[in-house]
Amino acid sequence: MFNVNQYFEGNVMSMAFENEEGKATVGIMAPGEYEFGTSTIELMTVISGEMTVLLPGESEWKTYQPFETFRVEKDAKFKLVIKEDCAYKCLYK
């Protein structure tokens, strides 16, 4: 069964599922600035659009394009800037 989640007044939506890769979500983000916290290690892959990301402990923002992945450690916060609608997949480890 899928679980649908909405965040930031519906500007971020995701559907959670589990398969042979483990627990995951696929989702979309509208343009905006967001901050997320993690409870597990997260591997975020851009599917469409781009994400500009400030990872924990970093001082430089980095932009990720389709099929690029970044890792966020457990119990951390990271910031995103989305300039146009964006789709992603997130694996939880």
Beta strands in the chain (DSSP E): 3-7, 12-19, 22-29, 32-37, 42-48, 51-54, 62-64, 69-72, 77-82, 86-92
Residue 2 pLDDT grade (very low, low, confident, very high; cuts 50, 70, 90): confident
Res 17: pLDDT: 94
CATH of segment(s) 3-92: 2.60.120.10
Tell me the pLDDT tens digit for each residue of 43-64: 999 999 999 999 999 999 999 9
